[in-house]
Chains A and B, each alone.
Chain A
Amino acid sequence: MLRFVLAFLLLITPAAAQSGAWVTTGHAESRLIAEKTAAVPGETLWLALDQQLEEGWHVYWKNPGDSGLPLELSWTLPEGFEAGEIGYPLPHRLPLGPLMNFGHEGRPLFVVPITVPVDAVTGQTVRIDVFAEWLICLDVCIPESADLSLAIAVAEEADDAPRTAAMIREARSALPRELGLEARFADQDGAIVLAIEGAPAGDAYIFPDESGLIEPAAAQPSMRSDEDLVFTLTPALKYRAAPPEALSGVLVVSMQGQEVGVLFNAQRSDEALSLAAVPAAAVAEEGGGNVVLIFAFALLGGLVLNAMPCVFPIVFLKAAGITQLAGADRSEVRKDAYAYTAGVLATFAAMAALLLALRGLGAELGWGFHLQSPIAVGLFAVIVFLIGLNLAGLFEVGTSVQGAGQGLTQKKGAAGSFFTGLLAVLVAAPCIGPFLGLPIGYALTAPPAAAIAVFLALGRGLALPYLALAAAPQAASLLPKPGAWMVRVKQLFSFAMFGTVVWLTWVVSLQAGPQGVLILGIALVASSLAAWLYGLAQEKGGSTLLRAAAALAIAIALAPLFTLTAAPVAAASTATEKIPYDEAMLAQYRAEGTPVFIDFTAAWCVTCQYNKRVVLDTEPIKSLFAETGTVFMVADLTNPDPIITAAIERQGRSGVPLYLYYNGEAEPEILPQILTAERVAQTLEQAG
Chain B
Amino acid sequence: MLAIAPVHYLVLAAILFVIGMVGVLTRRNVVIILMSIELMLNAANLNLVAFSRMYGLHGQAFSVFVVADAAAEAAVGLGILIAFFRNRETVNMDEVDLLKW
Q: Do A and B come from one complex?
A: no
